[in-house]
Amino acid sequence: MNVTKLNQIYEGKAKKVFKTSDENLYIVEYKDDATAFNGVKKGTITGKGVINNKMSNIMFKLLEQNGIKTHFVEELSDRETLVKAVKIVPLEIIIRNVAAGSFSKRYGVEEGTILKNPTLEFSLKDDALNDPLINNSHITALNIATEQELKNISDMAYKINDVMKKFFAGIGIKLIDFKIEAGRFQNEIILADEISPDTCRFWDAETNKKLDKDRFRRDLGNVEEAYQEIFSRITNK
Ligand code: UDP
């Protein structure tokens, strides 16, 4: 598509966002920077930006094929993708199939415990407040999203879980949990942000080896290799 990259409008922990000559489109640029614990731990994962860009785009295409609307438009380069210019709903939308991370800590449940049903939770995206958990009545009370939008977001999240769980099972990976973000675009809620080892927990189905950002968060070593391993399995290379 023939659009010109214009000024940067936002820089997050892992991506930059640029305006384009088309007001309905942005360009996202993925970085190798990694942070954890709300920015307290900082580092670089070499090659991560390229993998997260390409992997997210593969996942967005898979989800589109399954009837889920996403912000994806076109991959422009190894690190850059053209996306719809959404307004992000400031929520982290988290689905869990297996207990891990903050869920295990909060409820005293051993990591790896299979949950009887997938769970859905929301955190308010606000670094200054440390992304606190927030419930549906808080979200509507604070005008963050309407009840209808929350229903659309929840339905979308569970559907994404069904599609991704099946897809990853097919390549020998357990989808433990993941975080997504939703955006508003032309009066609709669509999937935005990214889907990558930064935002999902992936465990090898046979060995339970962690193949995601927990290797960085917990200093487990072989971080780059884990990202590469996931990407190789997805692309079958
Ligand atoms: N997650 C994320 N960004 C965040 C917090 C969580 O992408 O700011 C993802 C995380 O990678 C995991 C899932 O959401 O796949 C659940 O994370 P959890 O709430 O267990 O938080 P953590 O243990 O990472 O603090």
Express each pLDDT in 171-224 by its tens digit. 999 999 999 999 999 999 999 999 999 999 999 999 999 999 999 999 999 999
Over residues 48-65, the pLDDT tens digits come to 999 999 999 999 999 999
Over residues 132-182, the pLDDT tens digits come to 999 999 999 999 999 999 999 999 999 999 999 999 999 999 999 999 999
- Angle separating helix axes 147-169 and 48-65, nearest 10 degrees: 110
Please work out whether the CB of residue 178 comes within 6 Å of at least one atom of ligand 1. yes
- Ligand 1 centre distance from Cα of residue 72 (Å): 22
| DSSP structural state of residue 129 | G
Return the amino acid letter for 213.
K
The closest residue, in CA terms, to atom 21 on ligand 1 is: 102
Q: What is the C-alpha to C-alpha distance for residues 54 and 78, in angstroms, rounded to an integer?
A: 7
**What is the DSSP annotation of 159-216?**
HHHHHHHHHHHTTTEEEEEEEEEEEEETTEEEEES--STTTEEEEETTT--B-STHHH
Please work out whether the CB of residue 103 comes within 6 Å of at least one atom of ligand 1. yes
Model confidence, pTM: 0.97
Please work out whether the CB of residue 157 comes within 6 Å of at least one atom of ligand 1. no
Q: What is the C-alpha to C-alpha distance for residues 61 and 69, in angstroms, rounded to an integer?
A: 10
Please work out whether the CB of residue 29 comes within 6 Å of at least one atom of ligand 1. no
Decide: 176 and 142 in contact? Cβ < 8 Å: no
Please work out whether the CB of residue 201 comes within 6 Å of at least one atom of ligand 1. yes
